[in-house]
Structure 1
């Protein structure tokens, strides 16, 4: 029961001596220097955090997680959640923290809490998060009478600044830092006891949990503690209190409710009712006539007896994503979940999915639109995202734009103190103002801060954000907390390579243990990967590192696999009856276009001939230089105006514009606006989740599953008028040539990306359809798409040899396998848990030897093992100053005050080739005028001189508005 008395009244009622009351009343939690000029007492901050937790319980936590906490709290889940969030900073009641600020330390010392000499070496500093665990752990063991209960609770306190230490780390090297003597001992005990009473418990023994959360639930709870702490550390919302007589839970609750309202924070569905009808999520919500495969996925969601994993495999263009959203509604309503995260393979695929999810969320409540986060580094250039933020900026007085108002810095972490400097956590700037109160129909800026994106109720982003939550990195708990309470959908799950897949498997283990429903989507999933995903999820659900549950063979394709646990037993089921595809399989003509020339002249000539009488061709190649060469050749041949070029070295603005344009011209809604003749030249950006309809595909040879993904762009939409010569889908496979002894030769880039063995297998399968690579009398069989997809994928990654003997497939396989195993081992070093640690019941020592990667760029290097690359912002030197890539003047030193100019400047963001990473990190820096700007101060400027070129790492670099970044050896 909440007590409206001040903490001073409580201390008197508890029988504390006058000296103790004075001492506890002097302990500070936020210094004036770092709290907008107002000291905030320690008990005030603890109660503020507890009060924020109470508001989070009422308005943010999913009902599923509330139920678990109610079980742990013996029916008092809300109060227990408030206690565990608020107690996090009890370790600030020690000399190591109280001595951090001389002005704040003076009254503490005067009250009789003295200390001797403290270590000055930062490496010997005693952090208050660890101090809190050291202070609390022995009391929990003694007063709860259970070492097991204490064992999982103290790491929640020790880890609230982002890392979990081992129990050995709770012993300070210098006893002085924790506090000596009866005065300190009494004060520390009083802080815990007064706070515990203020929250509503009789005493510390009364707090003892009725059970234990599993490790994944502990990690989610830890993230929620961090969230509550960061909100309560916002000094704009929680003005410092220096008089303990004004500190009470009632007062903190009023402050917390006001802060929650002012910040515009909210959860998602808030208790989603069951849909009215089995297929209503498809028919009424999404407005589709259900296809058989969509119906199968939704029906499986209705029939699963517990949260679990669903793997939906269906042809390209089948409508898997809409079916997954419908299934997510069913799962959320049945199991008490509050939102959805949709993970996409790339930034380019995230943008159209974001728009689709926006429309879906609006169908529940138009105001929820602003709770859909787009999570990738180039979201500023998504038109829908910008529309929402432009509307918000127009309604919010004094706003500086996304992530810039209220002193909000995309690299800032709320709650940071002096002791966090060693971890690269800057303090919150002293300036700034929240401006007008945020409205219910505008976005909550708080969720835009670093590491917080997944905490939004609905989010769409790259799969990297899911993988980050499976890394042993700082504040991983905050990311994981953003997943628990949601349904997680992973589209194009096959796109994760073997290195990324280790993090995906680790994420599935943790999500399985946390009871988070997961839906995986793919058109071309190798059977071994499906089995690995099922085993990982069920291993987590059962708390075992090596669970195996064979997946029964599906009756056909499309199919749905469901995996869950029932009374402690793993269960995996597949579609029991054949599920027909929504359209009949089409014979697809497959031909060779042998050639490994880098300039692309051969491809340009073939495309020119194929679309001479009209038609849409999609060309997919593996090198930017090669794509640029093909574009040049076609442009010189009269295709200007009918060409589009898409690759990863376009600046952000151009890439977003062209992606949107291609989808508009060739997407499902193109209709009569579809051009009579057009050629799209692209790299692997066009491989998946790129909903365009082409008549002809020209593609470099790739592993068969990826080859089939590209074929999925052919004849994709019904009712499209096509030239007579392209009435049937046609594929030209290039990037390969007959070598000595008829063994294929591949593009060096293809071998570097995929390895030789999958390419040999793909070449053998193509040869079955197109005839021998070097020519011959074998009949051309072609492929039937999508009917042949499952067997082609299975054979492409199977064990029986399918290549001619002279290709020496066995040797290529061994080399490939050895490299794959090495990449798996490389990932193990930064996985959230090593295999031997999976059975540990608590979070103790989770971050032992972890990575200190913090920024998204650093995290990308953790979850992707390719060569590191860096992004730069193109600027052009002109007479007397600089211009943005589009000619916008940005001042003598690059200074930019106008928000529109900032957007135009950042529209010139481009990623450099990996071979220039080292030179860029050493030689490129922000312009002088960017130093104080939150969006620019970490950006590297690529300055093109007045001749339009820059020299970097022995290369000449220029930017062409059509071709993109051009890199040539100097």
Structure 2
């Protein structure tokens, strides 16, 4: 048991620790401004965090524990029994604080933004109408008597005076913060509450004589030390360009100098878009830019968002190295944040070294029941090389000072999900870096644009990295950030010229006089590659004759690689990659590798490592290697191919694939492949008719962009593109509205555009249902009613909200025979599938993602093994039980797992 006043003071004392030892300078600055000037921000912050639970001073809450209720009644406060009627204390607090602040003479505009922070501290912001008690018990749950109203006022008043205010009127802020700042502050309130609600560090006090702010401060200081919490780098001095050498071991390239100089010229926090070719060093550029922006505008950490889990892992290592150079020991404050981080060896080694519980514990918390705390004992805090264990809990990862994860972490901050305020609190006060932003399709882009609006309003510096962007996409990103910064529905007018060259930087920010911009370009550090473009036609009938469509690729590579060399073959579907692999394997044997998303986790990790080793840069002769891959090899995949064979894809993605060609200058290459060449297939364009394009490719990308890309390819066939010099022009041609297709294709293009445009609008409309802000409500000034309809569902479903497409499901492969179950390697499990601790990683290594067409059957037919149901990591994992021949069936589908091919869906069962 804990007295209410004690918890309010404990939370306020934790808030003081957060202010002193965690908050970014930029956050403190706006809080000081809101509170009324220097010296007022810290106390106001402690007050708003501590007052969050005032709604517990109501019969609705006090009657929940019979023992405590008797003591309350004994004091003279009574209530009428209301049966099963309940009223949440967070909403009761919203009503209570509105009444008390109104009686204290607060201005309506300040009451209007304060009460949602109280009413929303359990994760959802109600409307003012939702603060009402259930009709049948109205008045009885809040306390109808004069005594209750006096007690409620006294709780707020006594707490306020304990913090050093003379009265409630003195607490009233000077100005209303922006809506984004309110969301940020709300997340910090939740953070303080969760820490102060941990009974291991704040045991109950039931004697009022032991309750005081000084006692709570002592408890909070001990808890902070015990938890090992800390902020980021604190204050930084603006680094010069010479620091680049110290950070990365070599001097900056011209494009890197250009970006660093640009961010030094910005008149305020803003948006920086860096467009540069593959291999230009954009990641290093962004980290130095983040240092400069943080030093200039008071950020205290960084979030680096990557397009996929696989691309996040190598950047995690790089960010840790950089962080240690910025401030010794800071590398220990970098968290890896994605659903497969358990398989990252560096991350797991850091946790094991720190003596932490297994990483699977941290996602199993019920926030409403346990305030986000896990049940394990933290023990003594030692010198750690991993972030504090508290940060690793459910929904708290972004609060870690430095974070590397998937872009989904930011996209989810733009969704109307429970505890979204924790995501904003984790992003605000940092510099946000997002890589490969061109990879965001129209659906994901809605969440990206919404996120940029909120970050712009919160004055968060954002650095976006891309190989290149279509002009319309660049403009949309800029407009979203500026609209947020200006707190308007529409962006302020800004003349934004296209970069005059490549690489380029576009920087925008808002000043009192209006939006400002800086657009620069410079030469690349290496000369353009002259990429020969060839077409290997694929006839329509080959879609129905599987052997035919691979023969031409086999013949081509047999000719080009007869003296050796390394080839990359990218297919648009897994089935097509498997088929191509079979044909090439028959000709080239062990020289052929296969990499796609239907390999289980262990095989995929091993294949990726092998591919990077065999196709990596080398000054010595490399063994002949052919890597057949899907889009996994399209971006952030550091291989150096001598020749590329690829299915037709939209021009920006095609150029990404071309970026795997001849990436390094000093690699010895056989004569047949000494000049870079890309061979396009998966379509056929002869005569005056619009081309036939592989139906599977059209299903993924749509016919419209593929037609326009095919037109550029056919126009340059047997000639070349200069890459990266021509990249911006090629992308602008396909994504612009100027004619690029031959006249004979015009009617087909019009039909394709109509379908594409309707599909784009439908996907935009679908995303709108989940966005944090409803259409035309960006100018709202408070958080009231933000959760007008909560986005619900399991974690896997919530993650899928920000990525469009058919649903897919991951399963864990196990082998079943008459003796029971075994891992994918054949090692035995318990009779019901129980997993010994030393086999857990091996079991999880058998995780594989099923194709979308099997998702429905898997959801209804596959369940965890009985021995997994109480396991913290496996209890939600579906087991795919394979017979001794490695086969299984789902609904009408026959499937098997092949060691070479991965998961194979053979055909429909008869």
TM-score (norm 1): 0.89
Shift, 1:329, TM fit: 0.6
Shift, 1:854, TM fit: 5.4
Shift, 1:416, TM fit: 2.6
Counterparts of 1:397-408 in structure 2 under 5 Å? 399-404=356-361
> Residue 881 of structure 1 is aligned with which of 820, 832, 837?
820
User: What residue is the counterpart of 1:660 in the other structure?
Assistant: 609
Shift, 1:351, TM fit: 1.2
Counterparts of 1:271-350 in structure 2 under 5 Å? 271-275=235-239, 277=240, 279-350=241-312
User: What residue is the counterpart of 2:841 in the other structure?
Assistant: 903
Change (3 A) 1:207 1:854: farther
> Residue 859 of structure 1 is aligned with which of 794, 798, 817?
798
User: What residue is the counterpart of 2:8 in the other structure?
Assistant: 46
Shift, 1:63, TM fit: 0.5
Change (3 A) 1:72 1:486: same
**CA contact 1:132–1:157 (8 Å) conserved in 2:** yes
Q: Give the 3-state SS of the residue equivalent to 1:441 in structure 2.
A: coil
> Residue 135 of structure 1 is aligned with which of 96, 117, 120?
96
Q: Give the 3-state SS of the residue equivalent to 1:311 in structure 2.
A: strand
The 1-side partners of 2:72 and 2:871 are apart by 38
Shift, 1:102, TM fit: 3.4
User: What residue is the counterpart of 1:32 in the other structure?
Assistant: none
> Residue 318 of structure 2 is aligned with which of 356, 372, 380?
356
User: What residue is the counterpart of 1:868 in the other structure?
Assistant: 807
The 1-side partners of 2:65 and 2:862 are apart by 37
The 2-side partners of 1:157 and 1:854 are apart by 26
Counterparts of 1:145-294 in structure 2 under 5 Å? 145-172=106-133, 173=135, 174-275=138-239, 277=240, 279-294=241-256
User: What residue is the counterpart of 1:833 in the other structure?
Assistant: 773
Change (3 A) 1:43 1:957: farther
Post-superposition CA distance 1:600-651 (Å, at most 9, x none): 52333433332221111111111111111112222222331x2322211121
- Residues 458-467 or 139-148, more deviating: 139-148
**CA contact 2:792–2:798 (8 Å) conserved in 1:** no
User: What residue is the counterpart of 1:892 in the other structure?
Assistant: 831
Counterparts of 1:427-576 in structure 2 under 5 Å? 432-547=376-491, 548-575=493-520
Shift, 1:233, TM fit: 1.6
Q: How many residues align?
A: 893
Counterparts of 1:646-685 in structure 2 under 5 Å? 646-668=595-617, 670-672=618-620, 675-685=622-632
Post-superposition CA distance 1:179-236 (Å, at most 9, x none): 2212221221222112112222222111111111100011111111111111112222
The 2-side partners of 1:555 and 1:802 are apart by 22
Unmatched segments (≥5 aa) in structure 1: 1-38, 394-398, 418-424, 771-779
The 1-side partners of 2:359 and 2:93 are apart by 36
Post-superposition CA distance 1:386-412 (Å, at most 9, x none): 22123223xxxxx542253xxxx4131
The 1-side partners of 2:408 and 2:833 are apart by 32
The 2-side partners of 1:477 and 1:207 are apart by 23
The 2-side partners of 1:488 and 1:659 are apart by 28
The 1-side partners of 2:660 and 2:847 are apart by 28
**CA contact 1:828–1:834 (8 Å) conserved in 2:** yes
The 1-side partners of 2:190 and 2:860 are apart by 35
Change (3 A) 1:619 1:177: same
> Residue 727 of structure 2 is aligned with which of 789, 792, 795?
789
**CA contact 2:270–2:459 (8 Å) conserved in 1:** yes
The 1-side partners of 2:155 and 2:814 are apart by 55
The 2-side partners of 1:371 and 1:428 are apart by 20
The 1-side partners of 2:262 and 2:173 are apart by 36
**CA contact 1:703–1:758 (8 Å) conserved in 2:** yes
Unmatched segments (≥5 aa) in structure 2: none
Q: Give the 3-state SS of the residue equivalent to 2:801 in structure 1.
A: helix
- Residues 438-447 or 456-465, more deviating: 438-447
The 2-side partners of 1:112 and 1:935 are apart by 50
Q: Give the 3-state SS of the residue equivalent to 1:40 in structure 2.
A: coil
**CA contact 1:229–1:415 (8 Å) conserved in 2:** no
- Residues 187-196 or 840-849, more deviating: 187-196
Shift, 1:952, TM fit: 1.2
TM-score (norm 2): 0.95
The 2-side partners of 1:94 and 1:897 are apart by 49
The 2-side partners of 1:254 and 1:605 are apart by 76
The 2-side partners of 1:781 and 1:43 are apart by 78
Q: Give the 3-state SS of the residue equivalent to 2:733 in structure 1.
A: helix
User: What residue is the counterpart of 2:364 in the other structure?
Assistant: 411
The 2-side partners of 1:345 and 1:925 are apart by 30
The 2-side partners of 1:786 and 1:792 are apart by 10
The 2-side partners of 1:650 and 1:112 are apart by 68
**CA contact 1:438–1:444 (8 Å) conserved in 2:** no
User: What residue is the counterpart of 1:25 in the other structure?
Assistant: none
Shift, 1:901, TM fit: 1.5
The 2-side partners of 1:442 and 1:293 are apart by 33
Change (3 A) 1:267 1:608: farther
Shift, 1:49, TM fit: 1.3
Change (3 A) 1:330 1:751: same
- Residues 225-234 or 704-713, more deviating: 225-234
Shift, 1:144, TM fit: 4.0
Shift, 1:248, TM fit: 1.8
Q: Give the 3-state SS of the residue equivalent to 2:427 in structure 1.
A: coil
Shift, 1:414, TM fit: 4.1
The 2-side partners of 1:909 and 1:510 are apart by 36
The 1-side partners of 2:572 and 2:70 are apart by 66
Q: Are 2:531 and 1:588 equivalent residues in the alignment?
A: yes
4+ runs deviating over 4 angstroms: 596-600
**CA contact 2:320–2:331 (8 Å) conserved in 1:** yes
Post-superposition CA distance 1:467-524 (Å, at most 9, x none): 0000111111101111001111111100000010010000011100000001111112
Post-superposition CA distance 1:847-893 (Å, at most 9, x none): 112312451x1222211221111111111114432222222322111
The 2-side partners of 1:884 and 1:436 are apart by 36
Q: Give the 3-state SS of the residue equivalent to 1:240 in structure 2.
A: coil
**RMSD, matched Cα:** 1.9
The 2-side partners of 1:629 and 1:217 are apart by 53
Change (3 A) 1:468 1:119: farther
**CA contact 1:283–1:290 (8 Å) conserved in 2:** yes
Post-superposition CA distance 1:32-60 (Å, at most 9, x none): xxxxxxx2222222112111111111111
Change (3 A) 1:550 1:920: farther
**CA contact 2:333–2:385 (8 Å) conserved in 1:** no
Shift, 1:742, TM fit: 2.8
The 1-side partners of 2:191 and 2:827 are apart by 40
Q: Are 2:560 and 1:610 equivalent residues in the alignment?
A: yes
Change (3 A) 1:513 1:918: same
Post-superposition CA distance 1:698-735 (Å, at most 9, x none): 11100001100100110112211111111111101111
User: What residue is the counterpart of 2:333 in the other structure?
Assistant: 371
Q: Are 2:762 and 1:822 equivalent residues in the alignment?
A: yes
The 2-side partners of 1:854 and 1:836 are apart by 29
The 1-side partners of 2:2 and 2:861 are apart by 44
Q: Give the 3-state SS of the residue equivalent to 1:926 in structure 2.
A: coil
Change (3 A) 1:340 1:751: same
The 2-side partners of 1:253 and 1:57 are apart by 13
Change (3 A) 1:707 1:740: same
Q: Give the 3-state SS of the residue equivalent to 2:415 in structure 1.
A: coil
Q: Give the 3-state SS of the residue equivalent to 1:827 in structure 2.
A: helix
User: What residue is the counterpart of 1:10 in the other structure?
Assistant: none
The 2-side partners of 1:359 and 1:801 are apart by 48
**CA contact 1:608–1:634 (8 Å) conserved in 2:** no
Q: Are 2:750 and 1:810 equivalent residues in the alignment?
A: yes
Counterparts of 1:626-637 in structure 2 under 5 Å? 626-637=576-587
Q: Give the 3-state SS of the residue equivalent to 1:782 in structure 2.
A: strand
The 1-side partners of 2:653 and 2:386 are apart by 40
The 1-side partners of 2:885 and 2:149 are apart by 71
